[in-house]
């Protein structure tokens, strides 16, 4: 759903809402990364704060005080600073976010085993089996909010409804720090009062297409023939929006949600035009992606790269392997070949990324041993590196070319942070992508 905020439409009845049959909850932490980062900086609570990397990175999160100035997630940091120059910028602490997220997910699991995480900071819950012991869905939602606030020191908003779509919509409208119940009998009225941009899957381009059709509210979509929507928007989008406009969403909460891909991106501190630098970056990103695959017990069949140039033009390329892998060397070989095949001649590169897709369980995927592979080959080497990293810390063992790279990136005596020797550009922000 779009991250744009809309005011909740007025209810049609008096008194507390009827939550009978509203067994789907969508719980979303409020400005999660910012709220978590402020736990150790209480003096900044109530002030504009931006969570993000350096000037070349993007905004990970922002407090609501910063959002009031137009700062949004995924916005370039340079633009965010211009919009809100008085904001305090804090570097992300991904270990902290992971720890708090794990604790929050344990809170959900104490309520019901039917938990479908969507990200570190949000999840769907099906509480049908918990109603008898813990009370009504609204009561359960209130307990979850209280527990998260008491134990983690952050707030969350909860939508309570009969379907996933409406529950997610309700939690967005309840933000920040709110609870919104949409009674089953009022679902259609609730949804159809909203602007089209509130529908799950309607971005700027789709909203423009709907506007050209004269459709500005969800009610307009609901009362437009499905065939007309399909002609104007395509089969999938037209049918999808017509169903949502009538509150129809047959999807169930899926307790196990497999990661669809694993990847990393690197935004450079300065535009890079040296393919040697890009090759080293691809090696490091491939190494990290492979390590995450192994830590999750997964293998992947497709490797893709993303390249963003100085003018923000972005291209992607991918190639499927003959067999799934979690070997760093295999992933890097494909990533490097994909980049070299682009034929870039001193192009100014802003960002590169490596992603592994078509994931499956390593335990259920047969491993094909190559005839030219020694008894103790690359797979065993990778696992030895994993063991060393677990004992001595991430990056304690790395390819020799990356050690040399680190030496170049280290400041000379008397140099300050970010100083680069030999004219190499300092590197910017890495991002983990799921």
Give pLDDT tens digits for 353-394: 999 998 888 766 555 544 455 444 555 655 555 555 555 455
| pLDDT confidence tier of residue 422, bands split at 50, 70 and 90 | very low
User: Which residues carry out catalysis?
Assistant: 122
Is the Cβ–Cβ distance between 144 and 108 less than 8 Å?
Answer: yes
What does the alpha-carbon distance between residue 320 and residue 301 come to, in Å, rounded to a whole number? 6
Q: Is the pLDDT of residue 418 over 60?
A: no
Contacts of 108 (CB under 8 A, 6+ apart): 27, 115, 123, 125, 144
| pLDDT confidence tier of residue 157, bands split at 50, 70 and 90 | very high
More confident of the two residues 232 and 7: 232
Q: What is the predicted pLDDT for the residue at 375?
A: 43
Is the Cβ–Cβ distance between 77 and 56 less than 8 Å?
Answer: yes
Q: How far is CA 283 from CA 92, 150, 287, 318, 332, in A?
A: 23, 43, 6, 16, 6
What does the alpha-carbon distance between residue 434 and residue 428 come to, in Å, rounded to a whole number? 20
Token pair 């939602």: residue:
141
The side-by-side arrangement of strands in the sheet containing 349-361 is 314-325, 298-309, 349-361, 261-272, 427-433
| Residue 54, CB-side half-sphere exposure with 13 Å CA sphere | 13
DSSP secondary structure letter of residue 58: B
Give pLDDT tens digits for 70-126: 999 889 999 999 999 999 999 999 889 989 999 999 999 999 999 999 888 999 999
Q: What is the predicted pLDDT for the residue at 95?
A: 85
Q: What is the predicted pLDDT for the residue at 360?
A: 84
Would you say 271 is a known binding-site residue? no
Q: How far is CA 243 from CA 181, 191, 315, in A?
A: 21, 11, 33
Q: Is the pLDDT of residue 295 over 60?
A: yes
Fold equal for 29-130+140-163 and 193-245: no
- What CATH code is assigned to 261-433? 3.30.1490.100
Q: What is the mean pLDDT of the chain?
A: 83
What does the alpha-carbon distance between residue 423 and residue 412 come to, in Å, rounded to a whole number? 13
Residue 360 token pair: 């499956």
More confident of the two residues 421 and 374: 374
Would you say 28 is a known binding-site residue? yes
Is the Cβ–Cβ distance between 270 and 356 less than 8 Å?
Answer: no
| pLDDT confidence tier of residue 294, bands split at 50, 70 and 90 | confident
Q: How far apart are the first and last CA of the chain?
A: 18
| Residue 405, CB-side half-sphere exposure with 13 Å CA sphere | 18
More confident of the two residues 332 and 204: 332
Is the Cβ–Cβ distance between 194 and 217 less than 8 Å?
Answer: yes
Q: What is the predicted pLDDT for the residue at 298?
A: 87
Q: What is the predicted pLDDT for the residue at 401?
A: 55
Give pLDDT tens digits for 211-238: 888 999 999 999 999 999 998 888 888 8
Q: Which fold would CATH assign to domain 193-245?
A: DNA polymerase; domain 1 (1.10.150)
For helices 328-340 and 378-392, the axis angle rounded to 10 degrees is 110
Q: Which fold would CATH assign to domain 29-130+140-163?
A: MutS, DNA mismatch repair protein, domain I (3.40.1170)
Q: What is the predicted pLDDT for the residue at 5?
A: 53
**Residue 131: is it exposed, middle or buried by C-beta count within 10 angstroms (0-12/13-18/19+)?**
middle
- All structural domains of the chain with their residue ranges: 29-130+140-163, 193-245, 261-433
Q: Where does 314-364 have alpha helices with state H?
A: 328-340
Pairing between β-strand 261-272 and β-strand 427-433 as defined by DSSP bridges: antiparallel
Q: How far is CA 28 from CA 21, 85, 108, 145, in A?
A: 21, 28, 12, 10
What percentage of the chain exceeds 70 in pLDDT? Answer: 79
């Amino acid at each position: 759903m779009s991250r744009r905020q809309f005011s909740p439409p007025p209810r049609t009845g008096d008194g507390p809402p009827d939550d009978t049959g509203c067994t789907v909850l969508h719980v979303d932490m409020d400005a999660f990364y910012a709220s978590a980062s402020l736990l150790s900086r209480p003096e900044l609570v109530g002030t504009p704060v931006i969570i993000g990397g350096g000037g070349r990175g993007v905004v990970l999160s922002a407090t609501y005080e910063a959002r009031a100035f137009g700062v949004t997630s995924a916005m370039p940091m340079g633009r965010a600073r211009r919009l809100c120059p008085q904001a305090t910028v804090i570097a992300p602490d991904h270990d902290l976010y992971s720890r708090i997220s794990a604790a929050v997910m344990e809170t959900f699991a104490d309520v019901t085993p039917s938990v479908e995480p969507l990200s570190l900071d949000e999840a769907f819950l099906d509480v049908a089996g918990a109603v008898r012991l813990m009370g009504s869905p609204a009561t359960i939602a209130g307990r979850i909010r209280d527990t998260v606030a008491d134990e983690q020191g952050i707030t969350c908003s909860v939508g309570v409804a009969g379907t996933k779509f409406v529950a997610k919509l309700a939690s967005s409208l309840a933000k920040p720090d709110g609870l919104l119940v949409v009674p089953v009998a009022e679902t259609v009225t609730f949804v159809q009062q909203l602007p089209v941009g509130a529908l799950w899957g309607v971005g700027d381009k789709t909203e423009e297409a709907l506007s050209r059709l004269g459709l500005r509210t969800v009610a307009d979509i609901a009362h437009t023939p499905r065939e007309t929507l399909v002609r104007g928007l395509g089969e999938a989008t037209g049918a999808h929006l017509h169903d949502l406009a009538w509150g129809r969403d047959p999807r169930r909460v899926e307790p196990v949600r497999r990661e669809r891909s694993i990847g990393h991106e690197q935004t450079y501190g300065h535009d890079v035009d040296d393919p040697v630098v890009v090759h080293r970056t691809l090696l490091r990103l491939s190494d990290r992606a492979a390590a995450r695959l192994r830590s999750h017990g997964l293998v992947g069949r497709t490797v893709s790269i993303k390249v963003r140039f100085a003018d923000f033009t972005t291209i992607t390329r991918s190639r499927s392997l003959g067999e799934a892998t979690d070997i760093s060397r295999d992933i890097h070989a494909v990533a490097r070949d994909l980049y070299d095949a682009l034929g870039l001649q001193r192009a100014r590169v802003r960002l590169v990324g490596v992603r592994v897709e078509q994931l499956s369980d390593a335990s259920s995927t047969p491993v094909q041993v190559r005839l030219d592979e020694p008894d103790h080959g690359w797979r065993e080497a990778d696992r030895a590196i994993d063991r060393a990293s677990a004992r001595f810390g991430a990056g304690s063992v790395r390819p020799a070319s990356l050690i040399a790279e680190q030496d170049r990136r280290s400041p000379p005596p008397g140099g300050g942070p970010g100083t680069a020797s030999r004219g190499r550009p300092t590197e910017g922000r890495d991002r983990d992508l799921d």
